């Protein structure tokens, strides 16, 4: 159930009988030939697909995250860490005021990992709450399915190429991208990162069959749904 399809009275009534909710978080950043909004699209969709049968409210995705590594690519928007700390804290405070006490944060971007620390600190002042941070694409079952399909998978490669992240009229390259030197990439600035990455893909082919991608998506949705359903503190 999307918050966009509810009014405040419905939210109040829902939280009174079921205090679970989902907050997707993403990023707007380069993804080679795919949409700049891949991370927010996938985080919001996997959250909505997982929560739909349960009737658990899903808040609109937080589109912007920590993407400083890609700021030399036009269209990439990145928050400062100090800003991000405030934004995530304010959102958690607002969700708490709305009556929710069990919050699943569905993350679509690896750079947002500091959110885990923010959540940990926030929980110390909100002992009545339970918050789970879920990196949906690298959760155990989903990542196992990815590796079963093709172990050469990374940022902006086939593993993020779903029917809903492709751009109309944009063809995907037919070759496989050699693996980037991750150690070297980590110690240079954004301009040199762009030079090293060229189109932005970290490694692997750019696209696989829709059947393969939908099989991975089914695993991701079910794994996310299980986190909504059980094992709350």
Q: Which own/partner pairs from 35-42 qualify as long-range (CB within 8 Å, at least 24 positions apart)?
A: 35/165, 35/166, 35/167, 36/75, 36/76, 37/63, 38/108, 38/156, 38/160, 38/165, 39/65, 39/108, 39/109, 40/108, 41/108, 41/164, 41/165, 42/108, 42/136, 42/137, 42/160, 42/162, 42/164, 42/165
Give Rg (Cα) of the chain: 18
CA separation for the pair 39, 64 (Å, rounded): 9
Q: What is the CATH number of the domain that holds 208?
A: 3.40.50.10310
- What does pLDDT average to over the chain? 98
Nearest-CA neighbor of 194 among 65, 71, 28, 39? 71
Per the CB < 8 A criterion, the answer to whether 31 and 170 are in contact is no
Name the token pair of 89: 């804290």
In the chain, the number of structural domains is: 1
Lookup result for tokens 């079910």: 222
User: What's the whole-number mean pLDDT along residues 149-153?
Assistant: 97
- At 209, is the pLDDT very low, low, confident or very high (cuts 50, 70, 90)? very high
Range of the domain at 39: 3-229
- What pLDDT score does 69 carry? 97
Report if pTM > 0.85. yes
pLDDT reported for residue 193: 98
Residue 233: pLDDT band by 50, 70, 90 thresholds?
confident
Using an 8 Å Cβ cutoff, are 56 and 228 in contact?
A: yes
**Neighbour-count burial for 160-185, b at 16+ CB within 10 Å, e otherwise:** bbbeebbeeeeebeeeebeebeeeee
* Among 66, 50, 21, 34, CA closest to 139: 50
For residue 115, how far is the Cα from the chain centroid?
12
Instruction: Kindly state the helix (H) or strand (E) to which residue 142 belongs, with its residue range.
Output: helix 140-149
Model pLDDT, residue 204? 97
């Amino acid at each position: 159930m999307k918050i966009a399809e509810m009014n405040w009275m419905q939210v109040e009534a829902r939280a009174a009988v079921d205090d679970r909710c989902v907050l997707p978080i993403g990023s707007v950043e380069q993804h080679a030939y795919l949409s700049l909004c891949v991370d927010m699209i996938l985080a919001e969709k996997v959250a909505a697909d997982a929560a739909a049968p349960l009737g658990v409210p899903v808040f609109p995705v937080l589109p912007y995250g920590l993407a400083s590594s890609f700021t030399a690519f036009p269209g990439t928007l990145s928050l400062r860490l100090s800003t991000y700390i405030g934004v995530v804290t304010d959102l958690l405070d607002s969700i708490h005021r709305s009556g929710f006490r069990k919050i699943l944060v569905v993350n679509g971007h690896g750079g947002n990992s500091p959110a885990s620390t923010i959540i940990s600190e926030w929980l110390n002042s909100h002992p009545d709450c339970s918050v789970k941070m879920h990196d949906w694409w690298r959760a155990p079952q989903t990542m196992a399915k990815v590796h079963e399909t093709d172990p050469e998978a990374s940022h902006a490669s086939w593993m993020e190429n779903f029917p809903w992240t492709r751009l109309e009229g944009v063809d995907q390259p037919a070759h496989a991208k050699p693996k980037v030197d991750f150690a070297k990439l980590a110690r240079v600035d954004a301009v040199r990162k762009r030079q090293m990455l060229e189109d932005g893909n970290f490694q692997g082919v750019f696209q696989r069959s829709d059947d393969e991608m939908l099989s991975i998506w089914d695993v991701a949705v079910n794994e996310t749904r299980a986190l909504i359903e059980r094992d709350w503190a």
